[in-house]
Amino acid sequence: MTILVTGATGTIGSAVVDELLRAGHRVRALTRNAAAADLPDQVEVVEGDLTEPRSVEVALRGVTALHLLSATGDDHVPLATGPRLVELARQAGVRRVTVLTTGADGPVEQAVRASDLEWTILLPIDVMANALGWAESVRTGGVVREPYGGRLTASVDIADFAAVVATVLVDGGHAGKSYRVTGPEALTPADKVRAIGAAVGRELDFVELTDEQARELWRAEGWPEEGIDFMLTMWATVPPTVGVVTSVVKEVTGRSPRTFAEWAGEHARLFA
């Protein structure tokens, strides 16, 4: 069984690769730039670009299970190439596919649902690792500045999300399902900052920003304009379900999802 992981060099995909390797599976990774891909030696790295389906044909050869992104770029644009990618996967002999969705019902999601593949659509509401974006500000000033401070998110540890992906791809039994994959609790950014403070042994401040203040700060940090627009629009329009905890991690993997406090403890050195 060769499993192709797209997004394998990214935050979430690299955790999927690690989880599959730990379980002893043969992993192939798709990247647009093999020379820059920093992946474990056991991984077969193949170049391809999901926006150009023909470039992915080589990577799909001999693959039976596929972890597929549904969107790319700083503004998380849905992949318009979804139907072609799904068709090429079918032709190559792929039987099982996990789709990493952003929650949008885009071309990839629609194409897998219309196919005869064993598809499972997985939405990580928000991953705890996104809090690493606060590390520098915590280290240098003991403060986190963010807009939408009242938002509650049931963030999931990428290791738990990756374990769900790996279980679904390898064991099957989840065909035709769409899962929201969350951690065990819904927290505000201020709750998370408190947990990081406890992990590093310091009291940290949380400052809520307006949209304009956030835009200025993120520009100064070098964020691309489309990434800023994406984040502000997302947090302004996000449905309350982002704060609803699900039991998917436990049901699929059999283990309880990690809390944010545990995640913060494991990553404390990055904030100290």
Inter-residue contact 165 to 122 (CB < 8 Å): yes
Closest distance of CB 203 from ligand NAP, Å: 27
Q: Examine residue 102 and tell whether it contacts ligand NAP (CB under 6 A).
A: yes
Tokens 């196919």 belong to 115
In order of 142, 198, 260, 269, 271, the CA distances from 201 in angstroms are: 11, 5, 16, 11, 10
Nearer residue to ligand NAP within complex by CB, 34 or 205:
34
Q: Examine residue 9 and tell whether it contacts ligand NAP (CB under 6 A).
A: yes
Q: Given candidates 4, 7, 148, 153, which one binds ligand NAP under the rule CB under 6 A?
A: 7
User: What is the size of the binding site for ligand NAP (CB under 6 A)?
Assistant: 26
Q: Segment near ligand NAP (CB under 6 A), from 2-10, 137-145, 184-192, 245-253?
A: 2-10
Closest distance of CB 211 from ligand NAP, Å: 20
Q: Given candidates 2, 25, 26, 51, which one binds ligand NAP under the rule CB under 6 A?
A: 51
Structure tokens at 260: 């944010």
> Around Cβ 37, how many Cβ atoms within 10 Å?
17
Nearer residue to ligand NAP within complex by CB, 14 or 253:
14
Closest distance of CB 266 from ligand NAP, Å: 18
Tokens 């990434």 belong to 227
Q: Given candidates 69, 99, 186, 196, which one binds ligand NAP under the rule CB under 6 A?
A: 69
Nearer residue to ligand NAP within complex by CB, 32 or 113:
32
According to DSSP H, which parts of the chain are helical?
A: 11-22, 57-60, 82-92, 107-113, 135-141, 158-171, 189-200, 211-220, 225-237, 248-253, 260-266
Distance (Å, rounded) from C-alpha 99 to C-alpha 114? 13
Inter-residue contact 253 to 160 (CB < 8 Å): yes
Q: Examine residue 156 and tell whether it contacts ligand NAP (CB under 6 A).
A: no
Can you state the percent helix, strand and coil of the chain, rounding each to 5?
A: 45, 20, 35
When CB distances to ligand NAP are compared, the closest residue is: 10
Structure tokens at 1: 């069984």
Q: Which of 104, 99, 105, 101 is nearest to 124 (CA)?
A: 101
Q: Segment near ligand NAP (CB under 6 A), from 1-9, 176-184, 249-257, 259-267?
A: 1-9
Q: Given candidates 2, 64, 110, 130, which one binds ligand NAP under the rule CB under 6 A?
A: 130
Q: Examine residue 126 and tell whether it contacts ligand NAP (CB under 6 A).
A: yes
Closest distance of CB 62 from ligand NAP, Å: 19
Task: Give me the residues that bind ligand NAP (CB under 6 A), please.
Answer: 6-13, 30-33, 37, 49-51, 69, 71-72, 76, 100, 102, 124, 126-127, 130
